[in-house]
Amino acid sequence: MKNKGTLRRVMRYIKRYMPLIVLSTLLAALSVAGTLSIPIIIGNAIDFLVPPDGSHSLRWNDIIGCLLTAGIIAGITALLQWLMNVINNRIAFNVVRDIRNDAFEHIEKLPFSYLDTVSTGDIVSRVITDADQFADGLLLGFSQLFTGVVTILGTLVFMLTLDPLITLVVVVLTPVSLFAARRIANGTYSMFKKRSETLGEQTAYIDEIIGNQKTVKAFCREDESIEKFAEINSRLEKYSLKATFWSSLTNPVTRFVNALVYAAVGVFGAISAINGGITVGALSCFLSYANQYTKPFNEISGVVTELQNALACAGRLFALIEAEPQVPEPENAVALTDVRGSITARDVSFSYTPDRKLIEHLELDIKPGQKVAIVGPTGCGKTTFINLLMRFYDVTGGTISADGHDIRGVTRRSLRSSFGMVLQDTILISGTIRDNIRMGKPDATDEEIIAAAKASHAHSFIKRLPDKYDTVIGEDGGSLSQGQKQLLCISRIMLCLPPMLILDEATSSIDTRTELKIQDAFTKLMKGRTSFIVAHRLSTIRDADLILVMNNGSIIEKGRHEELLEKGGFYANLYNSQFAE
């Protein structure tokens, strides 16, 4: 089976709740026993109405006794079924909770190479939508599969005690129903799998368009967006219809076969009753059993169809959970302490894809406390080098060392906490202004937060907000301007005061007057700290201790501003192109 591996993985989660499964199975057996005993009692009551000796005296006491007994057993059976459903709900939702927890925990361990290639919407669809559909299928399986199997076995035992020959007729016709259900189930899995994948694609596209609605409207791409969504939606409709069509075949096909079984039992039972083989009450009981015996096949075939959908969804979840995690830290990983800030790169090579080289044979020596600027045309590898420094990606060749330690042998937490980053793209979380500033230093006092906001010149606009530092914003910053968002990100750095800084166009969205003030604050902040400044406006890096000029993944020039201008090379051309009259 295509989904055999997925089923094994699901069973590993279900095994954690084996005591509940045993209890659910026991309750299913008891409820089925109660359900199957009622037809016998009703059959006895019928025989009391039609005595086999031909007498016309009705035994009302016995009839009423049978009805009362049947009522009590029905009540107890209903209670047992309710308890079984409660337990089944607990098992199903606990299993889905565990899978969701593992999926979310694994997302935190995934490398950026995975997150950069799989859309956010698709990941969200797997953890939310696929998990919900898996829960529905699993719950249906627990609710009907256990009871159905026990009902089939119990009914066979009861029918054998009544009449083995008629029971044989039932057993012979049953495989036809199973064969039909199996053929249909094989067709539904692939359709449900395609439906889940297309649903993930649709969720990803909706997430992308809503998140970039301003860009869509600015470039008048509404019609194209609608057309692409309609195309995805059309594919989803096609796969959903096919999946529903195949799954809908199961019930009528099995019902038709079950009707044949019921008719056969009726014919053979009536002949046996006429010949005196069984009583009228026994025939009534047998017909009831024939109906109860075939009914679980309908339910199980429906459960199998739903399980195909559930397993298709579970397969996508497990594909996420089992995706290759980031390279684990070595057991003897060093935690950086008392960071001085020396950085060296030896013969560093890196590429995002093997067939497209980016950084090759990069050599670098940064002394503690140096202010290093990285410049170059778009796509030359500036941001990639920052990603390598932070170990968002690992080098494919050579080594990068911090304070003499290969960063691959350093704990990620200590390495990343040694850097303070302000990027051109602002990163905010849902919460208050205070929460956003406090991210890098959770134990910071309100006085420290305000001092950091004043240092970044964010305090003045925060005071004008409705709830000041308690104002709640969304993950995209809500109604804050791009410049205000960037000031909040700068405030975090002012609060943490890390030993090394990375500033990637940190003031690109800020007005000139505020930028001058922040540059002055940065100058004070960078004093004694190793700083990496990625800049396109070369006027902001004139006072850098070292300027690295990159092109095509290599450092082609390095030196101070005046030295590079005197060389009249690549940097001089870049600088003059910005300031030529």
20 within a domain of the structure (yes/no) = no
Residue from 201, 232, 231, 208 nearest 130 by CA:
201
Last residue of a domain, one of 477, 497, 517: 497
Q: How many domains does the chain have?
A: 2
Residue from 403, 343, 408 nearest 371 by CA:
343
pTM for this predicted structure: 0.64
Q: Please tell me whether residues 296 and 445 are part of one structural domain.
A: no
Q: Give the length of the chain.
A: 581
Question: Mean pLDDT, the chain, as a whole number?
Answer: 77
Least confident window among 247-256, 340-349, 464-473 = 247-256
pLDDT of residue 1: 45
pLDDT of residue 558: 80
Q: Encoding tokens for residue 244?
A: 């529903």
507 within a domain of the structure (yes/no) = no
Give strand pairing partners of 555: 550
- Residue 108 has a CB neighbour count (10 Å cut-off) of 8
Q: Are strands 431-432 and 472-473 parallel, antiparallel or unpaired?
A: antiparallel
Q: In angstroms, what CA-CA distances link 207 with 123, 226, 229, 431?
A: 11, 14, 12, 21
554 within a domain of the structure (yes/no) = no
421 within a domain of the structure (yes/no) = no
Distance CA 522, CA 513 (A): 14
Contact 525, 451 (CB under 8 A): no
Packing angle, helices 131-140 and 60-107, rounded to 10: 160
Supply the CATH number for residue 162's domain: 1.20.1560.10
370 within a domain of the structure (yes/no) = no
pLDDT in tens, 291-322: 776 677 666 666 666 777 777 778 788 888 88
Distance CA 440, CA 489 (A): 10
Q: How confident is the model at residue 47 (pLDDT cuts 50, 70, 90)?
A: low
Q: Please tell me whether residues 299 and 443 are part of one structural domain.
A: no
Contact 122, 202 (CB under 8 A): no
153 within a domain of the structure (yes/no) = yes
pLDDT in tens, 480-526: 777 777 788 888 888 887 888 888 776 666 667 767 767 777 777 77
Residue type, 223: D
Q: Please tell me whether residues 258 and 114 are part of one structural domain.
A: yes
Supply the CATH number for residue 482's domain: 3.40.50.300
Residue type, 119: S
Distance CA 58, CA 66 (A): 13
170 within a domain of the structure (yes/no) = yes
Contact 290, 262 (CB under 8 A): yes
pLDDT of residue 50: 62
306 within a domain of the structure (yes/no) = yes
b/e string for 17-53 if b means 16 or more Cβ within 10 A? beebbeebbebbbbbbbbbbbbbbbbbbbbbbeeeee
pLDDT of residue 532: 84
The end-to-end CA distance of the chain, in Å, is 73
- Percentage of the chain modeled with pLDDT above 70: 80
Last residue of a domain, one of 300, 321, 342: 321
Domain that holds residue 179: 94-321
